[in-house]
Amino acid sequence: MALKIRLARGGSKKRPYYHVVLADARSPRDGRFLENLGSWNPMLAKDDEKRVQLNAERIKHWIENGAQPTDRVLRFLDEAGVAKREAKNNPVKAKPGKRAQERAAEKAQKVADAAAAAADAAE
């Protein structure tokens, strides 16, 4: 059985509250879980100590037994010093798409043509 340490959403509409749970990877997000390991309240200020609460001892136990934390939970664990999360780097993400590059090339061509026409008119 593949185990995941992940978030299960609670709270009402537009007022999210998440439980950090240990669940089977095949179970639904808010479905059955094996153990509640903490909570995350994104409505609180980022510097509030009650925003993220984790049971670090139990989380370490489950990670040692093969549970895999999701990326968001791994961020919390990295902040708490329980686990290490490597920073991700995707340099292609910031580049514009194919159509945007084509439009930029067309615009640059128009600017170059206008500059050439102005130079011809000035002579």
DSSP 21-52: EEEETTS-TTS--SEEEEEE-TTS-TT-TTSE
Instruction: Tell me the backbone φ, ψ of residue 73, rounded to 5 degrees.
Output: -65, -35
- Asked if residues 68 and 4 have their Cβ atoms less than 8 Å apart, the reply is yes
| The pLDDT of residue 1 is above 80 | no
User: Residue 87: pLDDT band by 50, 70, 90 thresholds?
Assistant: confident
Whole-model pTM above 0.85? no
All structural domains of the chain with their residue ranges:
1-78, 89-122
Could you give the CA distance from residue 115 to residue 117 in angstroms, rounded to a whole number? Answer: 5
Per-residue model confidence (pLDDT) at position 108 = 94
- Is residue 98 classed exposed, middle or buried when 0-12, 13-18 and 19+ CB atoms within 10 A define those classes? exposed
Structure tokens at 95: 């580049």
Per-residue model confidence (pLDDT) at position 45 = 95
pLDDT tens sequence across 14-72: 999 999 999 999 998 888 899 999 999 999 999 999 999 999 999 999 999 999 999 99
Could you give the CA distance from residue 52 to residue 38 in angstroms, rounded to a whole number? Answer: 8
Amino acid (1-letter code) at residue 34: L
According to the CATH classification, is domain 1-78 in 1.20.58.220?
A: no
